[in-house]
Structure 1
Amino acid sequence: MDGMCFRFSRGHSQGNNPFDTVDCSLTIFSARVFTYIFEILQGDRSSVILCDDIFGASPIRVQKLGNLDGMHVRKNSLHDNWDDEHGYYKYHLGEVLDGHYRITAGSGKGVFSTVVQAKDLKAGKNDPEEVAIKIICNEKERYKSGKREVSVLEKLSSADREDKRHCVRFISSFMYRDHLCLVLESLHMNLREVIKKFGRDIGLKLTAVRTYSKQLFIALKHLKDCSILHCDIKPDNILVNGSRNLLKLCDFGSALPAGINVITPVLVSRFYRAPEIILGLPYDHSLDMWSVGCCLYELYTGKILFPGGTNNGMLWLHMELKGPFPKKMLRKGAFTTQHFDQDLNFHATDENLMMKKAVNKLCMNVKPKGVGAKISSFAGEDPKMLSSFKDLLEKIFVLDPQKRLTVSQALSHPFITGK
């Protein structure tokens, strides 16, 4: 594993980043939906955040108000200087969070959080010294969403004491200046960065893809065993270590309990969104399998498989690859009529920039290309392994989620076992 190789590319063209157009509505959706679902399930009638002032560097005055169910947090006006206008915490290098973690570097900024690298000043003999800290935005709904992510991470970590299931390790959480902070293990880079650095436009060697595939399937099995849907698997949310021989699934901010279906067309980042989501059908663990398939294709080719600009465009790309949708599936979709007529013929919607309006085009007799036709053979690759990889993807990209490859079948597939 330490000798894992990658193909390198030269002279890459400098184009626009396609991820500039990825839906941000998912995160907004998941935060609101989580609030609705879990408050109903748990009977949460509280409309305020409880802050224990032992967590903050500066005390927060907390005052009980009459017979209210909960507590009202009254902030000192100086707290306004801690955040920017959007509620992101304005950290400083060298700052010590919770008297425990010294910030050493910034690591990224999400839709509702900031991630920093930090040194644990009180690390025990068996504790990691370097950690990543996800600082949730200072806003009530973001706090609630962050607490639910903590619950998911605690469940996944407690069910994986030996750290073999390829989900990021959760260490602890604390409050700091009105921000919920999640302490996680620190890894080197995400798969988006790996692809850009080592396989841009040409991808990685198939042996590396096989190693990553197996680890991702193990992570999916762990999610299934814990009855959790990730709901946002993409290269950005998969981290690798410094040797690039181990990966872990991260960012569970959009995760849902299996069995809870809120029908919405914006669940999962668009390029990795399964067709059942777009059509408005019930979903289960198979939606994460579809997303993993998209990642595996991208790892090997260096290209996005379904770069649709809209959900309508995504459905067209799905059909170009795999053919028409089963009519039984279309008849059950809550959003089918947005893309298909009463005879279940697909209507492609193109944005006419000259006329500045949508133009519908009737599309019939779609001839599927298949995944294999989109994957080229590279010199030095094992033909048998490549054929097995194509077969794996064909079985993942089945339009009907009930017939899609399961995680157990994936782990026993010849591409993974080498048999």
Structure 2
Amino acid sequence: MSDKHTRQGTSSRKHKEEASKSLKRKNSYQDYKKYEIEARTPPLPKHRHSIEDLMRQRESLKEELQLLKETKSTDIQSSREISKRKHRDDERNSKFSKLNHLDSSKKTIKSKTKGHVSPEYNTDKYLDSEDEENIIELRRKQRKQLLEKLNVTTASTKNENNITKNEKSENKTLEKKIDSVIPSNKNLPQKENTNSAQLSDMFSEKDDFVPQNVPGARDTDENNSQLTDNWDDSEGYYNIRVGDIIKNKYVLKEILGQGVFANVIHAQDNTKNNASVAIKIVRNNELMYKTSLKEISILNEINVADPDNKYHCVKYICNFMHKGHLCIVLEAMHMDLRSVLKKYGKNNGIHMRALTSYSRQLLVALRLLKKIGIIHADIKPDNILVNEKKNVLKLCDFGSAAKLDENEATPYLVSRFYRAPEIILGIPYSHGIDIWSTACTIFEMATGRILFTGSSNNRMLKCFMDLKGKIPVKCIRKGKFKDQHFNYKNNFLLHKKDEFTGRDKVIEVCNNNITRDLYKELQKYSKKQSPAEQKKLTQLKDQLEKMLILDPNHRLSVSDCLRHAFIQEQLEIDDKCTIDTW
């Protein structure tokens, strides 16, 4: 019985435990369910907004964000400005503390100064102020006082002779210290007794600082050095206004011409009974300025060698600076030779008597240049002038001229149509290049046509060989630029464009045949001539042939040209020749 009761008790205990476990599971499940319901997202609102309302809300949110960004940026900028302002004030405070220290150190010198010194200002009570204009005005006054003190002390030290060496050394050290803080008075334009009011102010609103030692600034016109007008064009040429007065004496009348280096104008000299002069106004350029100074030195040498002005080189009068331009005053002539050929030659050249006279005068000018060792290096009709009666010729424009020992190999010296072969090949040259250019000019006077019209240096060599045959091999070998025009066989390399493709090509020319006859060309462009004139034409052809020899060592010299029959037989009647008799 006892065993039975024990079994029933254990079974009832087990049943109770299982019931309690199931109850606990049920409660925990209910708790879980409850927690799960509470953790869910809240339900959607009953009144739903449309898409348009949501877009508007989105735009408003964007605007609010943008405003926040702008306010942040302005706050940052204002903080930066405040920091900069503080830094500026600190610098100024440090500067003026130095100045106050210098004032205290100058008390020993102040006892010996003469004159009134204005009272000092207390800077501390103004430095905390936010009004910058008051601070600047105050510091300007302080600086003015210091400059006045400095001027008074320097004036008193000049008058006193009993100052000791130690006090002089103190003056120098103080001036150096003040110069380190205040700009030096030496760089300011002032007269002997300079007042403080005349000194330029670093705090002034006006830009009254004068530039000193500026490269390229060469204006020596005292009355107009401070003018701010634009006197030059975009290329550096002086803007010429007819009627203007230069240097208080030269009245501009007309523009005669414009070259690479300068403008040339006709003017009248009021101080010499309105005498006519030509003024060459050089471009405002450093290279042109230096080249023109060299030209002035050459013109001075010509004046010394020809004081009577009878060897047919244009006379140099003087030079001066105007508005940053170097001006060279020369004697006035009527017109250049190219204009004479256009007006009177009528595409047939000028009369034989005028041709003989002009050739002789041009050779006389070359003889003078050779005597003083100068090469003109740019002889052409544009650089030859004639007077109003057209019976006197003068050589001008010495901008390319150089001394005999200063010549350098350059393939572009002299205008291309008048350029000698030794220049193109790079052979050391001498007075022979002027002889070659003179021969080309004489041919142009005789015919009204340019002798050699090559479009490049290479084509110019081809023109030379068409008239004179192949260039001697010994000349080619001396040439610095021979490889541009000749191959290793010394055959000419002709550069030309292909007719179909338009591309550049090089053709080797083995046989350089003469295709031109100088005498026929002279005869073709000459008018009907008498037997005497035909004889002169033959003499001219002979002289030109000898002046145009390709080898410069065998070319006719200036003296030989003047002794030639073409020049000698007409010397007596040439001086009486005028344009009306041509």
**Normalised by the size of structure 1, how large is the TM-score?**
0.81
How much has 1:287 moved relative to structure 2?
0.2
Q: Verify: 1:294 aligned to 2:440, yes or no.
A: yes
Partner-residue secondary structure (3-state), 2:410: coil
Partner-residue secondary structure (3-state), 2:321: strand
CA distance in 1, matches of 2:508, 2:354: 42
CA distance in 2, matches of 1:412, 1:262: 31
Aligned residue pair count = 353
Q: 2:562 aligns with which of 386, 393, 411?
A: 411
Q: What letter corresponds to residue 122 of structure 1 in structure 2?
A: T
- CA deviations 1:255-308 (Å, max 9, x no partner) are 111122211100000000000000000000000010000000000000000011
8 Å Cα contact 2:498-2:504 kept in structure 1: yes
Alignment match, 1:177: 323
How much has 1:410 moved relative to structure 2?
0.5
CA distance in 1, matches of 2:536, 2:265: 39
CA distance in 2, matches of 1:108, 1:49: 25
How much has 1:59 moved relative to structure 2?
2.2
8 Å Cα contact 1:271-1:308 kept in structure 2: yes
Q: Name stretches of at least 5 consecutive residues in structure 2 with no aligned partner.
A: 1-212, 571-582
- CA deviations 1:65-95 (Å, max 9, x no partner) are xxxxxxxxxxx6x14x111111111121110
Alignment match, 1:107: 256
How much has 1:111 moved relative to structure 2?
1.3
8 Å Cα contact 1:259-1:284 kept in structure 2: no
CA distance in 1, matches of 2:566, 2:240: 45
How much has 1:364 moved relative to structure 2?
2.5
* Cα 1:341–1:130 shift into 2, 3 Å: same
* Cα 1:168–1:174 shift into 2, 3 Å: same
Q: Verify: 1:391 aligned to 2:556, yes or no.
A: no
* Cα 1:57–1:106 shift into 2, 3 Å: farther
Q: 1:59 aligns with which of 222, 225, 228?
A: 225
* Cα 1:415–1:50 shift into 2, 3 Å: same
Partner-residue secondary structure (3-state), 1:175: strand
CA distance in 2, matches of 1:92, 1:356: 47
Bigger RCO (CA 8 Å, 6+ sep): 1
- CA deviations 1:18-42 (Å, max 9, x no partner) are xxxxxxxxxxxxxxxxxxxxxxxxx
How much has 1:348 moved relative to structure 2?
1.1
Q: What letter corresponds to residue 269 of structure 2 in structure 1?
A: D
Kindly report which structure 2 residues correspond to 1:11-410, keeping only aligned pairs within 5 A, or say none.
48-49=215-216, 51=218, 53=220, 55-59=221-225, 78-79=228-229, 81-123=230-272, 129-352=275-498, 355-368=501-514, 369-376=516-523, 378-381=527-530, 382-410=533-561
How high is the sequence identity, in percent, across the aligned residues?
A: 43
8 Å Cα contact 1:349-1:359 kept in structure 2: yes
CA distance in 2, matches of 1:310, 1:47: 41
Alignment match, 1:7: none
- CA deviations 1:99-131 (Å, max 9, x no partner) are 11000111111112111100001117xxx8000
How much has 1:354 moved relative to structure 2?
5.1
8 Å Cα contact 1:57-1:176 kept in structure 2: no
CA distance in 1, matches of 2:497, 2:214: 42
CA distance in 2, matches of 1:56, 1:409: 52
8 Å Cα contact 1:370-1:394 kept in structure 2: no
Q: What letter corresponds to residue 259 of structure 2 in structure 1?
A: G
Partner-residue secondary structure (3-state), 2:560: helix
CA distance in 2, matches of 1:57, 1:374: 59
Partner-residue secondary structure (3-state), 1:154: helix
CA distance in 2, matches of 1:48, 1:388: 56
Partner-residue secondary structure (3-state), 1:118: strand
Stretch of structure 1 that moved more, 112-121 or 371-380: 371-380
8 Å Cα contact 2:348-2:527 kept in structure 1: no
8 Å Cα contact 2:219-2:324 kept in structure 1: no
CA distance in 2, matches of 1:48, 1:210: 50
8 Å Cα contact 1:289-1:396 kept in structure 2: yes
Q: What letter corresponds to residue 218 of structure 2 in structure 1?
A: C
Partner-residue secondary structure (3-state), 2:520: helix
How much has 1:172 moved relative to structure 2?
0.5
Partner-residue secondary structure (3-state), 1:375: helix
* Cα 1:195–1:344 shift into 2, 3 Å: same
8 Å Cα contact 2:282-2:289 kept in structure 1: yes
Alignment match, 2:131: none
* Cα 1:215–1:48 shift into 2, 3 Å: same
CA distance in 2, matches of 1:149, 1:404: 27
CA distance in 2, matches of 1:236, 1:301: 16
CA distance in 1, matches of 2:566, 2:251: 44
- CA deviations 1:225-274 (Å, max 9, x no partner) are 11111111000000001111111001011111112221110000000000
Partner-residue secondary structure (3-state), 1:355: coil
RMSD: 1.8
8 Å Cα contact 2:219-2:322 kept in structure 1: no
8 Å Cα contact 2:491-2:510 kept in structure 1: yes
Higher Rg of the two aligned structures: 2
CA distance in 1, matches of 2:240, 2:503: 44
CA distance in 2, matches of 1:201, 1:335: 36
CA distance in 2, matches of 1:57, 1:108: 28
